[in-house]
Amino acid sequence: MINTFVVLKNYLSLIKFSHTIFAMPFAFIGFFLAVQMNNAVLNWKLFLLVVLCMVFARSAAMAFNRYIDRRFDKENVRTAVREIPAGTIAPGSALLFVIINSALFMATTWFINSICFYLSPVALAVVLGYSYTKRFTALCHLVLGAGLALAPIGAYLAVTGEFALLPLLFSFVVLLWVSGFDIIYALQDEDFDRSQQLRSMPVALGKKGALVLSSVLHILCAGLIVYAGIYAQFDLWYWAGAAIFISLLVYQHRLVKPDDLSKVTLAFATTNGVASVVFSVFVLMELYL
């Protein structure tokens, strides 16, 4: 029993399960937006399938990233304690975990609808392919953002089987938001990435330039949130959530300076986790109250 708990704990740590909090709330937005906009019946079985898709896809993506980057993780002092370089999970076991979760993701989409199933290989290609991008392009942060941006539009498709502008706007919000905060997170590894000839915006632009680009992406993100609210003619609850989300974007940029990265973890994990949850709660209140 103790060994099973330890193994489970190791795998949850491998995939950083707590970071599911970034994209999952936006999947909820996409799902309930589809229900409300289309006067659909609230199907809790379908909701569970959407949640499972999110869990399986993200688990596959994170484990694959750890598997592909295991050599770099071993050399980097910050990441040497991760499960594969530390020896608590074997590389082969991690790869098997990726295959199982990828298969479960595709199988789950089969039970949703045909368009989700047909698009599932594309979704996997994006979320798994991200792990290679740092080897050849500094735009890797945008690819990560694109992977998480599938959450709202994917959940919307699960309900309706059709694309629509509003969930796509929220997908672009996620793309810009995640890309911006991933650049902040990558500041920690600028010197290591440069030594290993890995690509990132901090390597390409330096710390100051990377922070400027991150700010630009988050300004565009804030603009899209405002536009989405105007387009949908949302009322008080949405704008309260939007104000909090945008304020937290500003706050995280005040935490991190080119010469002081001591609060990167606070800016990356805590601030963005709170922003995602709070914003989704207010959007759902807007939809149902």
pLDDT value for 268: 80
| Per-residue pLDDT at 10 | 81
Report whether 230 contacts 282 (CB < 8 A): no
pTM of the predicted model as reported, rounded to 2 decimal places: 0.95
pLDDT of residue 14: 78
Distance (Å, rounded) from C-alpha 254 to C-alpha 57? 33
Domain that holds residue 221: 2-288
Please report the pLDDT score of residue 2 as a whole number: 53
Q: Based on the structure, what is the number of domains in the chain?
A: 1
Q: What is the pLDDT of residues 46-84, one digit of tens each?
A: 999 999 999 999 999 999 999 999 999 999 999 999 999
Please report the pLDDT score of residue 17 as a whole number.
Answer: 67
What pLDDT does 15 receive?
Answer: 76
pLDDT number for residue 96:
97
pLDDT < 50: residue spans in the chain? none
CATH of residue 71: 1.10.357.140
pLDDT digits 0-9 by tens, 248-276: 999 999 999 988 888 888 788 889 999 99
